[in-house]
Amino acid sequence: MIIREDGEILDDILRTILQGRFKENERLPSESEFVAYYNSPRMNIRKALLKLEDMGYIYSKQGKGRFLKPKKKQIELHLTGSSSFNEKMKNVGYNLTTQNLGYVKLPYDEKIYKKLQVEEDVFKISRLHFIDEEPVVLHISYVSKAMLPEIEKHGDDIQSMFEYYAEQGFTDFTSTKSNISISLPTSIECSLFSCSPLVPLLVVESDCKEKNENKVLEYRKMIYRSDYFSYVITGE
């Protein structure tokens, strides 16, 4: 087999990994062995291997070579249903912790203000969720002072929006629509998730309404580090 371009080399090595050619923590062929196999310059081989490291498939040991990284434990996540992420994770026994990253008053944003059906005083509250001390989900909530008059007092302390809603007298929730997309992390997200720029993120945007009165409580964006999750969508 003769493959000369580093992109083709990357695809071919990745294919062998996904087909189970190597075991976890098994040493991959050396750069010299790949050079001979692909009849390609060492620079092309190194680029392909470095990309595989950035993608999280392999790791290197100084002076020993590159090895296949063990697969991460896949967390089954139901993207539908009325319970919060915190509840879903705790109900199945995961060690979940949350860090409140703070809140800010949001400048006018037509999309978000329209979603919340208000014209002023919208706040952005960000939390980072950890499972077994690994950062896996960034949860961004946009809420209005019209619905939550005390939000400026409590924004820095909120761990779960659903729990906070219950404290404010809202207990029955629904969501009308969710938008799902894939993106690559920004530099800030790379820092928060401790991941490389090539690890895909799953972005789920949705609203949250108080079911009885059909009032919009929140417009939210959930950003999942995709390599930690398997996703389930049901008709709940």
CB 192 within 8 Å of CB 223: no
| Structure-token pair, residue 61 | 């040991």
In angstroms, the CA 217 to CA 82 distance is 14
Does 51 have pLDDT greater than 60?
Answer: yes
Please report the pLDDT score of residue 71 as a whole number: 77
Domain ranges of the chain: 6-68, 75-232
Is domain 75-232 classified as CATH 3.40.630.30?
no
Does 76 have pLDDT greater than 80?
Answer: no
Element housing 115 (H / E): helix 110-116
CA dihedral 56→61→65→68, nearest 10 degrees, is: -30
* pTM of the predicted model as reported, rounded to 2 decimal places: 0.77
Give the architecture (CATH level 2) of 6-68: Orthogonal Bundle (1.10)
CB 1 within 8 Å of CB 37: yes
pLDDT band at 2 (very low <50, low <70, confident <90, very high): low
In angstroms, the CA 216 to CA 175 distance is 9
